[in-house]
């Protein structure tokens, strides 16, 4: 049975601009196309209906992104499970509003849930604009420490600055995790970027032979 991926439209394949269609998220679109080329079945899973749904399907087709089903289960899954359930059956669900519930269900009040709760609270409390500016500030702090590391001339100084770099890395990571909450998870994009990096590494290794 083919791998099935249910993909949200507004906020996932494009910027949120409903009822209009926002700017394309090309990394997600390209990741979806690559999954289909590798044999996966794609389902457009969206709240859009009627004319708005038709616009979304046509918009995706304009980028070469085709779907095996739209707001519906795949025929092979209906046949296998003898059920056409309301929620589409898929192996993966790509959605900008997704929250990883499995970790919280398994770990209860563990560290993973605590981190998610704190980050969500930070975004709600201070808002997107303030946290975006904080992202820029934390990145600049990390940049300064990296520059200091390259300027240092003794081992003791380098060791101290390395500690500062780790601290700033933690600050940047916390802000990056908030950016995921604000702008959507980046799993599909990460796969595309890693595939690209892997190909570059393969080319570099061949060149060095």
Segment 17-59, tens digit of pLDDT: 889 998 898 888 988 998 899 899 999 999 999 999 999 999 9
Cβ neighbour number for residue 28 with a 10 Å cutoff: 24
Segments of 67-187 assigned E as strands? 69-70, 92-94
Residue with tokens 């038709």, as numbered in its chain = 54
| pTM confidence score | 0.53
Polymer length of the chain: 209
Position 128 scores a pLDDT of: 87
> d(Cα 43, Cα 4) in Å, to the nearest integer?
7
> d(Cα 150, Cα 141) in Å, to the nearest integer?
15
131's CB contacts (< 8 A; 6+ apart) are: 122, 123, 175, 178, 179, 182
Q: What is the pLDDT of residues 53-70, one digit of tens each?
A: 999 999 999 999 999 999
Q: What is the pLDDT of residues 74-85, one digit of tens each?
A: 999 999 899 898
């Amino acid at each position: 049975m083919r791998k099935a991926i249910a993909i949200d439209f507004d906020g996932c394949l494009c910027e949120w601009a409903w009822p209009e269609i926002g700017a394309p998220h090309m990394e997600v679109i390209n990741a979806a196309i690559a999954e289909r080329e590798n044999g996966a079945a794609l389902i457009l899973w969206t709240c859009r209906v009627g004319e708005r749904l038709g616009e979304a399907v046509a918009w995706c087709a304009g980028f070469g992104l085709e779907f095996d089903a739209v707001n519906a289960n795949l025929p092979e899954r209906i046949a296998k499970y003898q059920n056409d359930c309301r929620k589409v059956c898929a192996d993966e669900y790509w959605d900008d509003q997704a929250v990883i519930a499995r970790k919280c269900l398994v770990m209860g009040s563990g560290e993973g849930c605590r981190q998610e709760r704190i980050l969500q609270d930070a975004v709600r409390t201070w808002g997107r604009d303030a946290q975006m500016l904080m992202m820029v500030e934390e990145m600049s702090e990390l940049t300064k420490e990296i520059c200091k590391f390259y300027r240092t001339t003794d081992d003791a100084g380098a060791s101290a600055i390395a500690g500062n770099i780790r601290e700033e890395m933690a600050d940047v990571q916390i802000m990056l995790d908030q950016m995921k909450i604000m702008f959507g998870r980046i799993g599909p994009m990460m796969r595309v970027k890693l595939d690209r990096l892997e190909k570059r590494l393969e080319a570099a290794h061949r060149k060095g032979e």
